[in-house]
Amino acid sequence: MRKISWCKNQNKGIKLVEPSDNLSKEYYETAEESLKVLKSIQNTQSNIWLATTKYYIEYFAFYSILMKLGIKCEIHDCTITLADFLEKEKIIPKGTTKILETDKGLRIDNQYYLKNKPVSIDFNKISEFIISIKETLDNLSKEKIEELRLKLFPQELKKK
């Protein structure tokens, strides 16, 4: 929770917002759209764009959960910290955090440092990842959402 506390104190870090099924749906659809983009560029051998697109598929899919929970975060490391929290709460599948961390690192290496590291694309695994997020979204009850929000923002929500 120390990392979460740090993230909550950052300007564009973890913030409480109204839960939004509409934004959640839009982020999820953006992940699906990005999967189509990945399929269309797979033969380009552009490691920059393969890494970037692969990561953003995963990021947008995961971010759809945050929108459903009513949590906003514009710092990717803090978003991944929230993935770790939700993984420990058994909300998302074990390994989600590692996928996001690994693919974020690959994206940064290829996009910003031009390392041209090879990008492994397994469409079955990526599709399974997206489907697991959809299952999570479908199974999040209003009670569970409130419970998670209270765990992350006890002071803010107890005031209400």
- pLDDT over 90 at 23, yes or no: yes
Q: What is the mean pLDDT of residues 115-123?
A: 97
Q: What is the mean pLDDT of residues 28-47?
A: 97
Instruction: Report yes or no on 100 lying in a domain.
Output: yes
* pTM over 0.75, yes/no: yes
The SS3 assignment for 61 reads helix
- Measured in degrees and rounded to the nearest 5, phi and psi for residue 93 equal -60, 145
Q: Would you state the pLDDT for residue 49?
A: 97
Number of structural domains the chain divides into: 1
Instruction: Report yes or no on 30 lying in a domain.
Output: yes
- pLDDT over 70 at 128, yes or no: yes
Q: Would you state the pLDDT for residue 1?
A: 81
- pLDDT over 60 at 124, yes or no: yes
Instruction: Report yes or no on 160 lying in a domain.
Output: no
- pLDDT over 90 at 80, yes or no: yes
Q: Would you state the pLDDT for residue 3?
A: 96
Can you give the CATH number for the domain in which 25 is found?
A: 1.20.120.330
Q: Would you state the pLDDT for residue 156?
A: 84
Residue 107 neighbours by CB under 8 Å, 6+ apart: 51, 52, 54, 55, 56
d(CA 156, CA 4): 14
- Measured in degrees and rounded to the nearest 5, phi and psi for residue 128 equal -60, -40
Q: What is the mean pLDDT of the chain?
A: 96
Instruction: Report yes or no on 25 lying in a domain.
Output: yes
Q: pLDDT-based confidence at 13, cuts 50/70/90?
A: very high
- Domain membership of residue 77 as a residue range: 2-151
Residue 70 host element (H or E): none
